[in-house]
Structure 1
Amino acid sequence: MARFVIYTRSGPEDLGRADVSLAAQNRDIELYLADYVSAPDILGHYCDRLTSIEERARNLDTALSLCQETGATLLVARTDRLPFDDMGFAPFFANAGLALRVASLPDAPKSELLVFARLQAQERRFDHRQARQALPDEITTRQTYQRPRGHDQIEQIARIALPLRHRGATMGDIASELNRAGITTARGAAWRATNVSRILSYLETNPAT
């Protein structure tokens, strides 16, 4: 009987991505277990719901420890559910004692998953550079102007944040661009990833803004 420890994660960078919602992750994992595993033994299901990019995925640490103690396989829906940017690849791929399976890549061994994860990381870096370069010069260069208020300020934020988000920029990338453009939050503070997440949620529910 194959033993598994399931791990799912959602974070502010996933805003608007239905393919990585917790429901979608659980669905993909259930499909994998139903189609590829006979009588799986689930030792635990751990989930991290992160509210900022600085927050550590603490339940992942618990899941990894349980896998080490029991020899169970760590099962995730997608490779991007693992925080490679924060933890690197070694904890997941250099540890011979950790078995790893990805539901969306059901036949891939760890060696192939490592290649795929590295390619994804390169693609993310490229997308972020492309998003930055796509900004007009007048936005990327800090300007001196009176800070817009109310509706005008929301429009200014939307003109910067929405195109970046559509190109795959992270919340941190968008925060950096808003700060670089000289725009502050409603309280006059510098932008952080959590602020960006909130304003994007507002813009999604108020598309006419």
Structure 2
Amino acid sequence: MQRYVTYFRVSTKEQGRSGLGLEAQERDVKLFLEGFADVPWEVMGTFTDVQSGTEDERPELGKALALVRQTGATLLVAKLDRLSRKVSFIAPLMDDPKVRLRVAVMPHADKFQLHIYAALAEQEREFISARTRAALGQAKARGVKLGGLRDKTDARNVAVQAQARANAERVAGIVQPLRSQGETLRAIADALNGAGVSTARGGTWSASQVQRVLERLAGGEVLP
């Protein structure tokens, strides 16, 4: 029998109390267990932390990993960024011979692929941060005041537009190799979502969005 230990994480106490974010993770894990897990299977324990993915000290994850190491069960998370948003945190778990990891939205990904996705996602987040700072700096240089509600909206729009222009290039390192390997648009979208890579507007990927990115890359056009 295949045994699993499931781990969930939400980023704020409000999400933890209301179930926002947690419900989607539980849905994805259920879909994995019903459609991709070896049968028969058993969930030996379920653990949930309510805190940021940038924080390394997570008591419930510690309990989940202890159970995994003790029983030989597989750690199952909905998305890779639910485990952590930092490669430095994920890498030691990948190298731990007593920890087996599965990601629900990337049911066929092995440890090597997950490591690559984690690294690319971290680079993508760093790029977004740098691009946003640059866009806001340019707006300020043009005389845009970053003050009241209207000004904040203008500044946010500048940042979103700058992010959108670079979106196709940012994800090329994930999208193009997977497509060249024959992956479907839906599978590529799932890989991006599972790695915690957001769209230009901070949302989740769909097959049609992946198709538009591929068309922009093929034609050298990266504007939305």
The percentage of aligned residue pairs carrying the same residue is 32
The 1:55/1:73 distance shift into structure 2, 3 A limit, reads closer
Once residues 2 and 87 of structure 1 are traced to their aligned partners in structure 2, the CA distance between those partners, rounded to angstroms, is 29
Partner of 2:211: none
The 1:58/1:128 distance shift into structure 2, 3 A limit, reads same
Aligned AA (2:126)? R
Query: Is contact 2:8-2:77 (8 Å) kept?
Result: yes
Query: Is contact 1:10-1:50 (8 Å) kept?
Result: yes
Once residues 163 and 80 of structure 1 are traced to their aligned partners in structure 2, the CA distance between those partners, rounded to angstroms, is 27
TM-score normalised by the chain length of structure 2: 0.58
Please show how residues 43-192 of structure 1 align to structure 2 within 5 Å. Answer: 43-50=44-51, 56-85=57-86, 88-137=89-138, 139=140, 153-160=148-155
Moved more, 42-51 or 83-92: 83-92
What are the superposed Cα offsets for residues 90-142 of structure 1, whole Å, 9 maximum, x if unpaired? 332111110000001101111111111111111111111111111144648xx
Please say if 1:4 is aligned against 2:13.
no
Moved more, 29-38 or 48-57: 48-57
Partner of 1:21: 21
Query: Partner of 2:29: helix, strand, or coil?
Result: helix
Moved over 3 A (4+): 51-56, 136-140, 153-168
The 1:89/1:52 distance shift into structure 2, 3 A limit, reads closer
Once residues 157 and 96 of structure 1 are traced to their aligned partners in structure 2, the CA distance between those partners, rounded to angstroms, is 49
Partner of 1:206: none
**Aligned-pair CA distance for 1:69:** 1.0
Once residues 85 and 34 of structure 2 are traced to their aligned partners in structure 1, the CA distance between those partners, rounded to angstroms, is 28
The 1:56/1:161 distance shift into structure 2, 3 A limit, reads farther
**Aligned-pair CA distance for 1:40:** 1.5
**Aligned-pair CA distance for 1:75:** 0.2
Once residues 34 and 52 of structure 1 are traced to their aligned partners in structure 2, the CA distance between those partners, rounded to angstroms, is 27
Aligned AA (1:99)? R
Aligned AA (2:91)? A
Aligned AA (2:136)? L
Query: Partner of 2:45: helix, strand, or coil?
Result: strand
How many residues end up aligned between the 2 structures? 155
What are the superposed Cα offsets for residues 7-46 of structure 1, whole Å, 9 maximum, x if unpaired? 111115xx9xxxx911111101000000112122111111
Query: Is contact 1:93-1:114 (8 Å) kept?
Result: yes
Partner of 1:194: none
Once residues 108 and 135 of structure 1 are traced to their aligned partners in structure 2, the CA distance between those partners, rounded to angstroms, is 37
Give the CA RMSD over aligned residues. 3.3
Once residues 53 and 94 of structure 1 are traced to their aligned partners in structure 2, the CA distance between those partners, rounded to angstroms, is 20
Query: Is contact 1:11-1:53 (8 Å) kept?
Result: no
Once residues 62 and 157 of structure 2 are traced to their aligned partners in structure 1, the CA distance between those partners, rounded to angstroms, is 34
Unaligned runs of at least 5 residues, structure 2: 165-224
Q: Which has the higher helix share?
A: 2
Once residues 42 and 111 of structure 1 are traced to their aligned partners in structure 2, the CA distance between those partners, rounded to angstroms, is 25
Query: Partner of 1:134: helix, strand, or coil?
Result: helix
Once residues 165 and 55 of structure 1 are traced to their aligned partners in structure 2, the CA distance between those partners, rounded to angstroms, is 29
TM-score normalised by the chain length of structure 1: 0.62
